[in-house]
Amino acid sequence: MLKLGVIGYGYWGPNILRNFSSQPGCRVAAICDKNPKALARALSLHPAVYATSDLDEVTGSPEIDAVAIVTPVSTHYDLAKKALENGKHVFVEKPFTATSAQAEELIELADRKNLVVMVDHTFLFTGAVRKIKELVDGGALGPLYYYDSTRVNLGLFQHDVNVIWDLAPHDLSIMDYLIGLEPEMVVATAGAHLNGLEDVGYMTLYFPNSVIAHINVNWLSPVKVRTTLVGGQRRMLVWNDLEPAEKIKIYDKGVEVGTEQGVHQLLVSYRSGDMWAPKVEETEALQLETRYFLDCVAEGKRPFNDGRAGLRVVRMLEAAEESLKRRKEIVYASSH
């Protein structure tokens, strides 16, 4: 029986608490939050859990085997470090850390202590992403051409991170999972209109083998969009996460370049066949992910969404930050 402490009971914490609570072989022993109202809410649903505002009662308790860190990103490093130093496995919200140096240190620490670190890249456990992974790995799409995601809506404005740090980690973790390579170059552009933090942002990632990825994130859109296009040589797919049914549509469409001799212009021909929407499993992603965490701890396995996966996402975010920063220097230097 693994005894878990949950730190943070804000927007996402209730889902973490509910899912770990319902897993066989796991008992949520403690919940920690500085906000007494949050603790009261947690207790009303989970009366048997010990509630505290003292972090050390969780990260330092000999009763606790693992901690789930569900707090703002700026606190992840300190909390995870303390937990790991005290010999506890760690389940931590995305993005893993605020800097890649922090991530590297935590990875090294966990390795040394032989502890599991799992970063909550929840989308990797959805039926949709698991189906797309299966299609990509099985060759249904052929070699990939591009990954293009739009993730926009009105709000929720964050006060500590910009729209790229807030929304892009979902797509970065998914493309990291699907493409299996690190980008060669990252270009980001963004605009800020309200509280100084970027609320509209774009990222392009150049991967090896001419794979290009693009992310469009926006807190100021009048409509909610969650649509990703994935283009391959053989087939292309559209994933619309807002569709209640038929989230993924696979198009038997493609382009071929002919090689006829003596022709000046390249012959580009189009192929257009059936569309197919495979059934997508509907099990709650977090249920599968929390189960997977418990299994990794029990069997001493390293999860695929481990600290290294978290580090790769943080590196892409840092590269975006750097790209934005350089641009600003150029902007102010230029005179039109």
Q: Under rule CB under 8 A, how many of the chain's residues touch a copy of itself?
A: 69
Residue 251 interacts with a copy of itself (CB under 8 A)?
Answer: yes
Residue 210 interacts with a copy of itself (CB under 8 A)?
Answer: yes
State CA 51 to chain mean position distance: 29
CB of 210 to a copy of itself, least distance (A): 6
Distances in whole angstroms, Cα of residue 56 to Cα of each of 5, 33, 53, 116, 119: 11, 12, 9, 20, 22
Residue 157 or 292: which CB sits closer to a copy of itself? 157
Residue 80 or 163: which CB sits closer to a copy of itself? 163
Residue 1 or 257: which CB sits closer to a copy of itself? 257
Residue 278 interacts with a copy of itself (CB under 8 A)?
Answer: yes
Sole binder of a copy of itself in the list 50, 75, 229, 287 (CB under 8 A): 229
Pick left, alpha or beta for residue 228 (phi over 0 → left; psi -120 to 50 → alpha; otherwise beta). beta
CB 79 within 8 A of CB 105: no
Residues 149-188 that bind a copy of itself (CB under 8 A): 150, 152, 154-155, 157, 159, 182, 184-185, 187
Q: Please list the residues that pair with 186 across neighbouring strands.
A: 205
Map residue 105 onto helix, strand or coil.
helix
Sole binder of a copy of itself in the list 113, 234, 279, 301 (CB under 8 A): 279
CB of 273 to a copy of itself, least distance (A): 5
Sole binder of a copy of itself in the list 275, 284, 292, 295 (CB under 8 A): 275
Least Cα distance to 142 among 202, 232, 266 occurs for: 232
Which two three-digit tokens encode residue 228? 């990703």
- Indicate the DSSP class of residue 19: H
